Every structure is written in C-alpha cells, then in structure tokens.
Chain A
Amino acid sequence: MSALQSTTALQTARRLGVSESGLAIVALVGFALLPIFVSGYTIYILPQYMLYGVMAMSLALLWGYSGILSIGQAGFFAIGGYIIGLSFKWIDFGNPAYIAFVVAPCVGAALAGVLGYFLFRAGVRAAYFVLVTLAVSIIVEQVAVSQSQWTGGWNGMYVPRMSLTLGTGTEISLFDDGPIYYFVLVVVVAIYILLRWLVTSKFGKVLLGIRENEDRVISLGFDASLYKTAAFMMSGALATLAGALYGTHAGFVSPSLGGVLFSTEVVVWVAIGGRNSFLGALLATIVVASLSNYLSAIAPRYWQLVIGVVFIVVIIHFRGGIAGALGRSGAFGKHKRGQDG
C-alpha cells in the first residue's frame, strides 16, 4: 500500500515536471520575499535554521552522496561558532568576521582531513567511522567546557553581530535582523549551488560510485580513500563555516552546540528531507527546526515525541526521505532515470 502510494506520488511529480532546480527557485523566491510579509521573531530565527540547513547539506554530501554517516557535524558547527567568537575577542585589525570565515573552513577541513586521511587510508569501515565522528562531537563539547578561559565554559561565549566592510572603508551593519537575513540567505544559496555543481562534477560522480560499490571504484583505478577524505574535508569545512556565521547571528555559542544530541538531530533532519537531495536536507531542516520550536512552545512535554513519530513514519514509508519520494531531480543530468533508488 505504502509502496504503491509513494510510486504514484513519484510518477505524479514526474508528470508535473517537478525538478529540484524548479523547487529550489520557488523556495528561494519565497525566502527572499518573506521579510515583506512577516517580521519580528520569524525573520530573526529563520537564518539560524538556514545555517542548520547548511550543516544538514554538509551531511547529505557525506552520507547521501558518499555513503559515509557522520554524527559529528555539530562538532564542526560549534568549532566555527567558537572561532568567530575568538576572532572578535582577539583580532583588532580588519574585519574579525571575515577572518573567521576564512579560518573556520580551513580549521574544519584540516580536522576532517587529518581524521579522514588516517581512518580511510587504514580502511576503517563505515560503522567505526561513525563512532569516531561521535567522539568528535563529544571532544568538542568537552573542550568547550574545560577550556573556559577561552570559551567561557558552561556559561558560553557572547559573539557580536558582524558588519560587512568594503575595502573603501564603507561599513554595512548587519546588526538588524533584516539585513543579516539576506546576507545568510545569499551565503546559503551560494553553498547550495556549489554543492549541486560539485555532485555533477567528476568528483561527485566518483563519490556516488564509492557509495554504490567502493571495491569496484578502487579496481577501476580511483584512490577511494583520497576521495572520501576530500568529501569529509568539504563537509567539515562547510559545517564549520555555517557555524561561524551562526555564531555571529545568534550572538551566543555554548558547549551544547557541539554536543551529540545536536549532532544526531542533524541526522534526523537529513533522513527526513532525503539524504540524496541537498534541497530536501535544507528545507527539511528549516521545517523540522521551526516545527520543533513551535511545538516546544505549545506542547513542551510532547514535541519530541511528535518529531520522533514523524521521523519513524518518513523512514518507514520513504527510505529516500521526502525528496526521494518526490522523485529525484535533474541533479544528475539527463541520465537521471538510473539514479532512483
């Protein structure tokens, strides 16, 4: 019954010509126009959810396209948040936010690179890799707690809102929620486009091959461990960058931002949205995070139960998440038919 329903939904979507790119444009226009109609808390909170969405997309690259699950993404995200906080504290030249936006992805990529290089080269398989990424989350949280002279420990760290500075000395304040909303939106769209491009490149195709049959990829002459390390680095860099932007937007970072709980939440978002679709992961994150927020206000006791049930229903009925049920997009060009699975 359910299989039948999802097949029909899939066919309907195809008949209607629903493509990921089309939906992405609709979503973009929607988000761009939203501040005209609503203001206040919604406009304040949405960019943070969009940045969670970037973290979710970074996981989709790893999990959906390379078959490597990480439950350490929040660890990277928190590192980014602390980097921008320290950047504002320590750096008194130039624009501390810009410096953080360069340093954060480099740190994220370096950390992922070191871990990935040793783990993948040693042939560590998926299940063990997950455990290591879990450790990343725990370590980040513990370091944030213990190194309180830098991080503020359990009290967290306050981060100022950034400004945009241009070389000419012009400064555009992003202190108000409206301007920074658009700044975040632009960054998120840019990252989305980058990822979409990435998976259609040779790199992305090889990653997909690794997900499907790693031994075959190696036997064709690809250094799979190198590709997996590169994917993890890319993923780590994006999550860390998103965290840095989150830090300056939220104005506050605390150890729990890097915790295991938050890391697993990201996995849930991606599973619901569809790990093979960046748009699915992004939108599911925004919707589920908003829903969690709303439900926690009206039903503080039961909201986690509701999210849990949604998660279970989606996993049982659509293994590819909501995006999988809607049919894959043109992300893979004209030979997309073979991509459904």
Chain B
Amino acid sequence: MAEFLRAENLTKSFRGLVANENINFSIGAGEVCCIIGPNGAGKTTFVSMISGHEVPTAGSVWFKGRNITGLPVHRIAQMGVVRKFQTPSVFSELSVYRNIELGVLASSCPARERHGRVLETLKHVRLSELSDQRVGSLSHGQRQWLEIGMLLGKDAQLLLLDEPTAGMTAEETHSTGELIRRLVNELNLSAIIIEHDINFIRDLRAPVTVLHLGRILMEGSFEEIAGREEVREVYLGEQK
C-alpha cells in the first residue's frame, strides 16, 4: 500500500518537559486507529504535531510522501489532514448550514456544487433537520457531530479526532462510533481517534496505540491491549 501518514521519531519537549519521545507511527489510507493513554500521556500533543498546531522538537511527519513537519496549520489542512478539537470548535453564532458551508468553502468544491455538498454533508452527520438552527442552541453531542461535518465538507482525507465522544450520552457515543465507521467505509477516510471511552474503542474494532509518559507503550487490537497487565496498570486500572 502506498504510504499515507507516517511519523518518525517524533519528539516534543516543552522547556525540558518531554511530552512525546521518539514516536514512530503510521496509518494507511482508509484505516482507523485509536490512541489511548492516561491524562498527560501526550495524546493531544502527538495529534497537534500532525496537524501543525505544535512544531516537533525532533523527528518528522510525512503525509503521502511529503514532509509536512512544521508546516503552518492551514497548509496541512489544505492537504486534507484536518482536526476536531477536544472541546467542539464551531461557529456558535452562525447557523448549522453556515458552519458546514465554511467547511465546504475550504474544499476544492466548485461554487455551483457547494449547496449540494452542504446538504449531503448535513445528511451524513444527521443534522439536516437543524440546518437553520443557530449552533449556540445545539446540544454538546450535536456540536461534536457538526464539527465532524465541517471536516467532511472540506475534503478531509485524514481525520484527527480528539475525544469525539466527550460529553456524550452512552447512546450518542454509540451512534458516533457508527458514524465514524460509516464515514470511513463510504468515503474511504482515515482517522486517528483519541478516546477515553472503553466501550467506544471496543465497538470501533480498530487497532489501538497506547501512549504512556509520551512514549508508545504498545500497539495491538483492543482485545490484545485489554489483556495486558501493564496497560491495565497505567490506563485501564486508573479508570476503575
């Protein structure tokens, strides 16, 4: 398979505090990967180095054969590597339609087809009914979906989803998992997902990477990971 995204010896330190150390990671086109780890494990920092929000101290990030290390955020986004933030980052004063439209405007979609693209994207994230609503009036879960919708409107190739189910009910979490699986299958997207919700990760049936103290502790399927004593100790144990 042609190379999609690869991180090589990625290291980030903030004034001596090492947030990520020598991370080697790769994901193929159409693949999904979950990143788990206790608070402070460096999950968000890792994703930020891919999206360009943080510049690595050492190491490099390659996307489709191009070195994207340290490029400005908007340039990386233009290539199709787009990010959903931990707290939904949307345009609260604008309508749901306008939010998605901004995503579509960021894509290469020709002007004539924009409206159709917005409607289609609204359907994908099941917000068609709320098209005219001001985003400020949406529930937390709906905003999470809206933000994912914006990323879809822009021709995303790799979704970086930082806690997409944070603040969701069990039911919402479940349907978010379904949504992501559906998007990945239908649109052939790749996704790197940071999550805490164990049920969500299990349902996703995707490879899991465990970060601990800024390093990769282990990688494997959910079952493999869940069975390992050291993972339980650093992460799962902490949950109980």
Chain A bound to chain B: yes
Chain A residues within 8 Å of B, Cβ to Cβ: 202, 205-206, 208-209, 212-213, 215-224, 332, 335, 337-341
A338 touches B83 (CB 8 A): no
Asked whether B74 is an interface residue with its Cβ less than 8 Å from the other chain, the reply is yes
CA distance A335 to B53 in the complex (A): 32
Q: Which residue of B lies closest to A209 (CB)?
A: B102
Name the prevailing secondary structure of the A interface residues. Answer: helix
Closest 5 CB pairs of A and B: A338-B95, A221-B77, A341-B93, A220-B106, A212-B91
A335 touches B98 (CB 8 A): yes
A338 touches B97 (CB 8 A): yes
6 contacts between A and B (CB under 8 A): A212-B92, A219-B77, A219-B82, A220-B77, A223-B72, A338-B132
How many A-B Cβ pairs are below 8 Å? 91
Chain B residues within 8 Å of A, Cβ to Cβ: 51, 53, 72-75, 77-78, 82-83, 85, 89-98, 101-103, 105-106, 111, 131-136, 150-151, 154
* Interchain CB contact (< 8 A) of B91 among A216, A221, A340: A216
**Given A218-B73, A335-B131 in contact, is the A212-B106 Cβ separation under 8 Å?**
no
| Residues in B whose Cβ lies below 8 Å from that of A215 | 89
**Given A219-B82, A223-B74 in contact, is the A337-B134 Cβ separation under 8 Å?**
yes
Min C-beta distance of A84 to chain B, whole Å: 38
Q: Which residue of A lies closest to B83 (CB)?
A: A219
CA distance A92 to B106 in the complex (A): 49
17 additional A-B residue pairs with CB within 8 Å, beyond A205-B98, A212-B94: A202-B105, A205-B101, A206-B102, A209-B102, A212-B93, A213-B89, A216-B85, A218-B74, A219-B51, A219-B73, A219-B82, A221-B154, A222-B74, A332-B98, A337-B132, A337-B133, A338-B94
CA distance A218 to B97 in the complex (A): 19
CA distance A205 to B89 in the complex (A): 17
| Residues in B whose Cβ lies below 8 Å from that of A218 | 73-74, 77
CA distance A220 to B74 in the complex (A): 7
CA distance A218 to B53 in the complex (A): 10
* Interchain CB contact (< 8 A) of B135 among A206, A222, A338: A338
Q: Which residue of B lies closest to A221 (CB)?
A: B77
**Given A337-B134, A338-B135, A339-B93 in contact, is the A220-B103 Cβ separation under 8 Å?**
yes
| Residues in B whose Cβ lies below 8 Å from that of A223 | 72, 74
Q: Which residue of B lies closest to A223 (CB)?
A: B74
Q: Which residue of B lies closest to A220 (CB)?
A: B106
| Residues in A whose Cβ lies below 8 Å from that of B93 | 212, 338-339, 341
